[in-house]
Amino acid sequence: MNMPSLALPAAAAYSETRQHELRKTRMLMIDGNLAVNSRTAEGGVSARVYHDGYWGFASEPGADAPSAQRVADKAHRNAREMARFGPRAVASLPSGSYRGRHAFGGRPPLSQKECMDRLAELHAWCQTRYPGLQSTRFMLSDEHHAKWLATSTGSEVLNSIQRALCYVTFVSEDDQGAPVEMRELLSTKGSLADLDLSVAALAPALDRMHEHLQAKRHAVAARGGLHTVVLAPELAGMLAHEAVGHPCEADIVLGGAVTGDLIGERVASELVTMIDFAHHVGDAEAMIPVYADDEGMPSRDAVLIDRGRLTEFMSSRETAARMGIAPTGSARAYGPSDEPLVRMRNTAILPGTHRLDEMIAGVDDGYLLMKTSNGQADSTTEFMFGINLAYEIRGGRLGRAIRDTTLSGSAIKVLQTVDAVSDDMVWSCAGYCGKKQPMVVSMGGPALRARAHLGGE
């Protein structure tokens, strides 16, 4: 993909041009029948201009030099039109730039027939191994973002982000004949060819799914109220992303998030350190590597919480300038016609020193929360997550499964009660983050032991 020349209006303080191609594959097999089989591609060129304190943006589907010129001119006109609202303070945007090309080199992509054959094999195996299931559903999905970006600060970047997903859903009935579901989400960097979909690779996870499903068929209601809970890594990752990550995005901070007045304050136990990683976690490339954001700013890790204290925020060029903070290169756009917003990349709480079995053994009366169906939070860090797999803990041992319930509270208050963090680390890039536009992100974490509210009957 060739980058069209950047057309920079002379009067603009800053401008950028982005050529963006997005390809997606989606296949859904329900009870052995292929219900969805789609491949889509969209592309286009966009431009943004910062002029007299206002942003102008424009985009169109074309990807040639005339298209780039048109959107650049239109973006500048839009910025001038915005200026009719009156004089506005002009932020001195950071001048950082980046030059480089980053593309994931995975396995050759699978054909649609190869994907369908793998799904059919998995369905047939499940039908034989788990004859009591009412239904099985397998969904495959992958997406590939290729973004060429040029900016007036001198950035020339190719960012390529690929991720692949497999959702498995088993359906059975409980003791009263009501449907009970269990879902597993598998994800990896790359295309579906980089996700091992063989029966041999997935059999252990499918067996665990079936065991949990059988436990849920005889589940009991949770006792509502404040409890000691062990949050499995999936829940810890969701808490980090939804309830802490969003209130640490600089645009949300400028909008009045409670975190704005808490820099340097203790917002969590000293056992908790939380980082939004840019492109590497240790020596390994992150699942969603961002070397330079969609404003051409070099991306760096943002240490949001350091041993319990709030330390910094994720930012774009403008929000960094307005807040007087060092930029983190966190502005990203999902689609070809989207503007960059401050977004998370790879957000995680760092592992500790406890073993998960020790954390459970230390709970006399509480719950192990393993999977979440959804989650939401606001700028006060108040959150509510749906819990669709959990077990009682009695006398340090796992007991009965509990029915679907909710977990809620203030993330700050919950994190301040953390008294154990496991020594393992689990990453996933299976979901989307919603904030005016979707976004591909990854989240991770160890298990946490804390105090939080569960919903009851």
At 390-405, the pLDDT tens digits run: 999 999 999 999 999 9
pLDDT at 26: 96
pTM exceeding the 0.75 threshold for the entire prediction: yes
Q: What's the rounded mean pLDDT across residues 213-237?
A: 94
Cα gap 146→45, rounded to integer Å? 12
Residue 246 has pLDDT above 80, yes or no: yes
Q: In this structure, which long-range contacts are made by residues 75-79, counting pairs with CB atoms below 8 Å and at least 24 apart in sequence?
A: 75/15, 75/47, 75/48, 75/49, 76/9, 76/11, 76/12, 76/15, 76/49, 76/51, 78/49, 79/12, 79/49, 79/50, 79/51, 79/52, 79/54, 79/55
- pLDDT at position 10: 53
pLDDT for residue 285 is more than 90 = yes
Backbone region of residue 52 per phi and psi (left: phi > 0; alpha: psi in -120 to 50; beta: other values): left
**What confidence tens digit (pLDDT) does each residue in 315-338 have?**
999 999 999 999 999 999 999 999
Q: Is the pLDDT of residue 9 over 80?
A: no
pLDDT given at position 11: 59
Please state, in angstroms and rounded to a whole number, the distance separating the CA atoms of residues 387 and 212. Answer: 14
pLDDT at 4: 47
Each domain of the chain, given as residue ranges in start order, spans: 14-216, 225-454
Q: What is the pLDDT of residue 3?
A: 52
DSSP string, 178-247: -EEEEEEEEEEES-GGGS---HHHHHHHHHHHHHHHHHHTT-BPPPPEEEEEEE-HHHHHHIIIIIIIGG
β-partners of residue 121 are: none
- Say whether pLDDT at 12 is over 80: no
User: Cα(275)–Cα(286) distance, rounded to whole angstroms?
Assistant: 12
Per-residue pLDDT, 8: 53
Q: Does the pLDDT value for residue 221 go beyond 60?
A: yes
Q: Is 178 exposed, middle or buried (0-12, 13-18, 19+ CB in 10 A)?
A: exposed
Task: Give tens-digit pLDDT for 88-111.
Answer: 989 999 999 999 999 888 899 999
Rounded to an integer, the average pLDDT of 117-138 is 96
Q: Residue 439 pLDDT > 50, yes or no?
A: yes
- CA-to-CA distance for 188 and 429, rounded, in angstroms? 7
Average pLDDT over residues 343-357: 97
Give the DSSP H/E element, type plus range, for residue 320: helix 317-323
Q: Please say if the pLDDT value at position 1 is more than 50.
A: no
β-pair partners for 157 = 100, 149
The answer to whether the beta carbons of residues 316 and 328 sit under 8 Å apart is no
Share of the chain above pLDDT 90, in %: 84
Cβ burial 52-91 (10 Å sphere, 16+ → b, else e): ebbebbbbbebbeeebbbbbbbbbbebbbebeeeeeeeeb
pLDDT tens digits along 19-64: 999 999 999 999 999 999 999 999 999 999 999 999 999 999 988 8
Q: Does domain 14-216 have CATH number 3.40.50.150?
A: no
Q: How far apart are CA 373 and CA 430, in angstroms?
A: 12
3-state SS assignment for residue 33: strand
440, two tokens? 């591909």
Of the listed ranges 8-12, 75-79, 122-126, 195-199, the least confidently predicted one is 8-12
Query: Is it the case that residue 13 has pLDDT exceeding 90?
Result: no
The token duo for 416 is 């301040």
The answer to whether residues 173 and 179 touch, using CB atoms and an 8 Å cutoff, is yes
Instruction: Determine the distance from the C-alpha atom of residue 281 to the mean position of all C-alpha atoms in its chain, rounded to a whole number.
Output: 15
Percent of the chain with pLDDT over 70: 97
The residues, ordered by sequence, that sit 6+ positions from 114 with a Cβ below 8 Å of its Cβ are none
Q: Residue 174's pLDDT band (boundaries 50, 70, 90)? A: confident
pLDDT recorded at residue 431: 82
Confidence of residue 7 (pLDDT cuts 50, 70, 90): low
Give residue 83's pLDDT band: very low, low, confident or very high (50, 70, 90).
Answer: confident
Q: What is the pLDDT of residue 5?
A: 54
In the numeric block, the tokens 């065991």 are attached to: 211
Describe the chain by its helix, strand, coil percentages, rounded to 5: 25, 40, 35
Element (H, E) at 16: strand 14-30
Q: Is the pLDDT of residue 346 over 60?
A: yes
At 306 the pLDDT is 98
| Amino acid at the residue 88 | R
To the nearest whole number, what is the mean pLDDT of the chain?
Answer: 93
25 residue type, one letter? T
